[in-house]
Amino acid sequence: MYTPAQNARLALLLEVAGTPKPGNVDRTRDLPDLHFEHFLAGAVGAQSGLEMAADGAAVGSAFERAIDGMATQRGDNTQFGALLLLVPLVRASRSELSPAVAESVVEETTVADAAGFYRAFDHVDVFVDDPPASMDDLDVRRGSDAVPALFERGLTLYDVMDHSVPGDDVAREWVTGFDRSFLAAHRLANADGPATDRAASVFLSVLAERPDTLVANRHGETVAREVTDRAAELHDSNALGTDPDAVERFADELVERGVNPGTTADIVAAGLFIALEHETLEL
Amino acid sequence: MYTPAQNARLALLLEVAGTPKPGNVDRTRDLPDLHFEHFLAGAVGAQSGLEMAADGAAVGSAFERAIDGMATQRGDNTQFGALLLLVPLVRASRSELSPAVAESVVEETTVADAAGFYRAFDHVDVFVDDPPASMDDLDVRRGSDAVPALFERGLTLYDVMDHSVPGDDVAREWVTGFDRSFLAAHRLANADGPATDRAASVFLSVLAERPDTLVANRHGETVAREVTDRAAELHDSNALGTDPDAVERFADELVERGVNPGTTADIVAAGLFIALEHETLEL
């Protein structure tokens, strides 16, 4: 039996080791400045933040610590979104890892948690879109400088996530009881083969279902939709089983174009954690 | 900065992620019943034993705990030998990670440490050769059943390692001030490229230098010598730089023959830990 904090790190490792995982760093692909080893180091570095969450610390502080540790390596942002899902899920696993408990964990977050989330941006460069003008003082890229505005407006971390939907499907998990994360866990449990093969197959299914919001923010809705449509074709034809080279080609092409469905990977990591905790996925 | 226990886990992860690493599980190769993900899980599971060593626990207890945690996954023995090197090195890093301090850590081991080492065999199947007849009551495969004989003979863990040389180059590290581990660290620091590429290149250099004792015990001295001679040819001609396909072919061939130079991998993992701790290898 692994502890919840260990299962969270194992989920991060299994996620990046799945291949082919179109567009992202995987067991056989690096990006120009972001290598497989940065993800290994990010998972190791996230330890103390994840342990804080497992010990019952506030979500915002645990998240900030996890990001600070993750960013020890030079690859910079490797698992920011995944940790934004894992920290509340690890916290929920203290009583029960269910959608209802996870929902109550995030609903109970405070303004202090939101401050921890903003401070996390001091440790790492995360790609985010411009906020609406009315939210300019709360642009996450301000990091801890935005904390006074948070307290002035009385926004909890849940409120911040709620404001980020639509346009950020990690935030969407927070306000929908982590529905796609639990669905991914269910699929991981029912898939065949080694955990890393299951991670790759579920990645494709999650990507096939909704345009990846990181891709949409970086490359526009049209590209995000195109990527999802192609993932859906490959998924519907069970290409991983019948024509794996087609998926490999798609993966190479996305890497070449710099199109990285990072949000999809975050959800798969959350699903891996849930499946490991529920022991529906064993190694 | 990672803690010593984190660097030890990172070393295990970087070691298995190096490729091509002829004969062993690596970033692109699995063995029939031993997959990449088992090594990821083994590294995660070793946490508490490594933390015990970092906190100053006795080497034998820390090692037993590390092996118990490593063996949580079903792949069984993934990193037994590597942890037998890492535990005393992590312990040494409490004062100074030098050959002299590492030597004094292992020289100060007791009969109780030897008992911990034997108990570790209760948690995992490790391939070992038959002991000499005079040592039959101390066959490590007896696990904790051999503990009374250890106390009767008054053998410390250092004595046990000393008796295992020649024929076990992990044990040899214990009685030579971890000389090949420190040499591997030096080479890792001076190699080029990402840490996982350095791990692969240093693996080849270590394999080129002395026949792997795990290979010798499983397949005989002749095979072990042949593997080392071929590694030496590839290493001397800088094949990783000039003809990487030749190394890939060698790697595939050894995997097919079931020839796994595990001792070499253990030494590379120890070298990675030293280089990370000394910050001569950064990610």
- pLDDT at site B94: 96
Using one digit for the tens of pLDDT, what is the confidence trace for A25-36? Answer: 999 999 988 999
The answer to whether B262 touches B214, Cβ cutoff 8 Å, is yes
- B85: distance to nearest CA of chain A, Å? 20
pLDDT band at A121 (very low <50, low <70, confident <90, very high): very high
Please give the residue of chain A at the shortest CA–CA distance from B41.
A10
Which chain B residues have a beta carbon less than 8 Å from that of A194?
Answer: 30, 35, 37
Which pair of tokens denotes residue B186?
């030096």
Minimum mean pLDDT range among A60-64, A105-109, B163-167, B222-226: B163-167
- Which of B10, B36, B282 is closest, CB to CB, to A44? B10
CA-nearest of A224, A235, A221, A283 to A259 is A224
Residue among A10, A40, A196 minimizing CB distance to B10: A40
Separation between Cα atoms, residue B283 and residue B281, nearest integer Å: 7
Distance from CA of B66 to the nearest CA of A (A): 13
Q: What is the pLDDT, as a whole number, of residue B87? A: 98
The answer to whether A156 and A113 have CB atoms below 8 angstroms apart is: yes
Quickly list H helices, chain B.
4-17, 36-45, 47-54, 59-70, 80-92, 99-107, 111-120, 147-153, 157-164, 169-175, 179-190, 195-209, 213-219, 221-236, 239-242, 244-257, 262-277
Q: Is the pLDDT of residue A75 over 80?
A: no
Q: Which residues contact B141 (CB under 8 A, 6 or more apart)?
A: B121, B128
With CA atoms as reference, report the closest residue to B46 among B26, B71, B29, B21: B71
Per-residue pLDDT at B126: 86
* % of chain A at pLDDT higher than 90: 91
* A123–chain B nearest CA distance, Å: 14
Q: Is the peptide bond before A166 cis (omega within 30 degrees of 0)?
A: yes
- Residue of B2, B36, B41 lying closest to A72 (CB–CB): B2
Q: What distance in Å separates the CA atoms of residue B270 and residue B181, rounded to the nearest whole number?
A: 6
Question: Which residue in the block uniquely carries the two structure tokens 């080791």?
Answer: A17
A136-181 pLDDT, tens digit each = 889 999 999 999 999 999 999 999 999 999 899 999 999 999 999 9
Q: Give the one of B1, B13, B41 whose C-beta lies nearest to A40's C-beta.
A: B13
Band (pLDDT 50/70/90 cuts) for residue A127 is confident
Cα–Cα distance for residue pair B68/B85, rounded to 1 Å: 16
How far lies B129's CA from each of A221, B118, B140, B213, B218, in Å? Answer: 62, 15, 10, 10, 8
Q: Which pLDDT does position A125 carry in this prediction? A: 86
Residue B232 near residue B138, CB atoms below 8 Å: no
Q: How far apart are CA B23 and CA B200, in angstroms?
A: 12
Enumerate the residues of chain B whose CB falls inside 8 A of the CB of residue A17.
Answer: 36-37, 40
Crossing angle, helix B99-107 and helix B80-92, to 10 degrees?
A: 110
Spatial contact of B250 and B166, defined as CB atoms under 8 Å apart: no
- Phi, psi torsion values for A31, nearest 5 degrees: -95, 165
Angle subtended at Cα A20 by Cα A267 and Cα A256, rounded to the nearest 5 degrees: 100
pLDDT digits (tens, 9 = 90+) for B71-121: 998 877 899 999 999 999 999 999 999 999 999 999 999 999 999 999 999
Q: Which domains does chain A have, with CATH numbers?
A: 4-277 (1.10.4200.10)
B196, A10: Cβ pair inside 8 Å? no
pLDDT in tens, B234-270: 999 999 999 999 999 999 999 999 999 999 999 999 9
CA dihedral B70, B72, B73, B78 (to 10 degrees): 20
- Please state the ipTM of this predicted complex: 0.95
Among A9, A28, A37, pick the best mutation site for testing chain B contact (most B Cβ within 10 A): A37
Q: From the CB of residue A47, how many other CB atoms can be counted at a distance below 10 Å?
A: 24
pLDDT band at A126 (very low <50, low <70, confident <90, very high): confident
Among A272, A274, A234, smallest CA distance to A254 is for: A234
C-alpha neighbours within 13 Å on the C-beta side of residue A13: 33
pLDDT interval class at A89 (50, 70, 90): very high
In angstroms, the Cα distances linking B56 to A147, B5, B49, B51, B62 are 41, 12, 11, 9, 9
Residues B102, B64: Cα–Cα separation, whole Å: 19
Among B1, B14, B37, beta carbon nearest to A14: B37
CB pairs under 8 A between A and B: 76
Cβ–Cβ below 8 Å for A37 and B196: yes
Residue of B127, B123, B129, B25 whose CA lies nearest to B73 = B123
Predicted confidence at residue B172, as pLDDT, reads: 98
Q: Which of B16, B40, B276 to mutate to test the interface with A (most CBs of A within 10 A)?
A: B40
